[in-house]
Amino acid sequence: MSSYHVWTVGCQMNKADSERLGAGLEQLGLEWTPTAKDADVIILNSCVVRQNAEDRVVGMLTSLKPWKQRNPDKTLALMGCMVGPKSDELRARFPYVDVFMQPQQFEPLIRMVGDKAGVDPDGCVGPFVPGHPKVTAHVPIIHGCDKFCTFCIIPYRRGREVSRPLEELVEECRMLAARGVQEVTLLGQNVDSYGHDLPGAPDLADLLEAVHDGVPELARIRFLTSHPNDMSERIIDAVARLPRAMECINLPFQAGGDDVLAAMRRGYTNAQYRELVGRVRAAVPGVAMVTDLIVGFPGETEAQFEDSLAMVQDLRFDKVHAAAYSTRPGTIAARKLEDDVPDEEKKRRLRAIEDVQESVLTEINSTYLGSTEEVLVDGRSRGRWQGRTRSDKLVFFDDERDLLGRLMQVRITRTTPWSLQGRLAEAPAASLSFRA
Ligand code: SF4
């Protein structure tokens, strides 16, 4: 048993879980392989937030059945939100899967692989921190969610909120920085409620400050995702105050109509959300705002949809993750509300949101033209360097040198709604020396 492959769908939490499980398997001596069918251990990390994500997982599981039948000694694992507290139904449906694991519950697979490899995981597996991280890394700081929005399955699959100790997180960030990471994103389904369950109840502002001051090698700190009701003045102040906390906040509004927000049990109104965005923008000049939005929620009228559209038009977000509502079995909405907006109408609403957002982004991004931006170079694409501004805008530029992981000053020469292009500003030497 020498290789593993993790296939991941879904949110950043899933991607972080996959990286961590990979770190555990590598500590047992396995190596990552890019081709699933060459691996001795295949893990599918699943998502059920939307129907198409679940369909992709089922398709992948089905396609791997002949592989498993040909290779009975190899290991197939299903992890993530598709696996509930009881996996009997999944076991009956996919009997050729060796192990089922809920999110973050890596132990059954680690034990199985340890047994097969003749290694005692208790003795040799350390903290699950990626051994070869990229320039940017995700750090889960709080698992689960206590909010129970009526459309969402996550609290039933990821459980109640459990925060990781602050000192452990600072130490993890320190380890990541020592391995070359320049930027960490502190992750949670509701990252703003971090710490309420810990002794002394530190909050996200405390954690931001502790990582900022405790790990000066990190160039950038981000966090996501926030719930509007938990976005405190202390958190806003920390973003405004800490130079290496990036001015970019992901704050889902989900719907513009007050009745729809109430049916979603989001706990705020259209006016309250707008007021919060105003406070964030007043405190953090130039902050980029990102949001999530559902169209076609059960009972959403045309007028209520227009409220969502107006929100996108008025609040001028830097990114909108819009999705058409689909019923998720097991949620409150699935039990109590009829999915009564026709699919064609959902598609029309989605297109309308996307059209408005494209014109908003055309305007926002054009304001970058001629400016010089600090860009963290995180990879190459089609022969060009790519990186992100502090506000998380994607930037492409050319240079012959190896700039991976460097903070560079880039003068923006062209903009589109989806990215910026530029050239290195004069005298980049100061930023070249940033990374050890
Ligand atoms: S805040 Fe709502 S939408 Fe977000 S994970 Fe929790 S229940 Fe789901």
The whole-number average pLDDT for the span 380-404 is 95
Burial of 76 (0-12, 13-18, 19+ CB in 10 A): buried
| 170 shares its domain with 284 | yes
What H or E segment, with its residue span, contains residue 27?
helix 12-27
Return the closest-CA partner of residue 114 out of 276, 1, 234, 228.
Answer: 1
pLDDT at 288 over 70: yes
Q: Is 155 in the pocket of ligand 1 (CB under 6 A)?
A: yes
**398 and 355 housed in the same domain:** no
Mean pLDDT of 211-224: 97
Return the ligand 1 atom nearest residue 266 CA: 2
How far apart are alpha carbons 8 and 17 in whole angstroms?
9
Give the strand pairing for 372-381 and 319-324: unpaired
Burial bucket for residue 323 (CB in 10 Å: 0-12, 13-18, 19+): middle
- Could you tell me the distance, in angstroms and rounded to a whole number, from the CA of residue 225 to the centre of ligand 1? 9
148 lines ligand 1 (CB under 6 A): yes
Look up the domain containing 29 and give its range.
Answer: 3-124
Q: Report the domain count for the chain.
A: 3
- Judgement on whether residues 164 and 257 belong to the same structural domain of the protein: yes
Task: Check pocket membership of 154 for ligand 1, CB cut-off 6 A.
Answer: yes
Domain boundary among 93, 124, 155: 124
Share of the chain above pLDDT 70, in %: 96
145 Cα to the center of ligand 1, angstroms: 6
The letter for the amino acid at 72 is P
User: Does residue 144 sit in the same domain as residue 120?
Assistant: no
User: Which pLDDT value is given to residue 428?
Assistant: 47
Looking at the structure, do residues 163 and 300 belong to the same domain, yes or no? yes
Lowest mean pLDDT among 67-71, 142-146, 429-433: 429-433
Of 313, 340, 366, the domain-final residue? 366
Give the CATH number for residue 115.
Answer: 3.40.50.12160
pLDDT at 121 over 80: no
190: alpha, beta or left, given left = phi > 0 and alpha = psi -120 to 50?
beta
pLDDT tops 60 at residue 63: yes
In a domain, 131, yes or no: no
Mean of pLDDT values over 311-338: 95
Specify the CATH number for the domain of residue 272.
Answer: 3.80.30.20
The model carries a pTM of 0.90
User: Same domain, yes or no, for 331 and 376?
Assistant: no
Q: Is the pLDDT of residue 431 over 80?
A: no
Domain boundary among 98, 124, 150: 124
User: In Å, how far are 267, 273, 338 from 21, measured between CA atoms?
Assistant: 35, 37, 39
Q: Based on the domain organization, do 278 and 321 belong to the same domain?
A: yes
Mutate to test the pocket of ligand 1, among 12, 149, 225, 297 (most ligand atoms within 8 A of CB): 149
Distance 262 CA to ligand 1 centre (A): 14
**Atom 4 of ligand 1, residue of closest alpha carbon:** 189
Instruction: Indicate the top mutation candidate among 157, 189, 231, 293 to test ligand 1's pocket, ranked by most ligand atoms within 8 A of CB.
Output: 189
Ligand 1 center to 276 CA (angstroms): 18
Clarify whether residues 13 and 120 are in a common domain.
Answer: yes
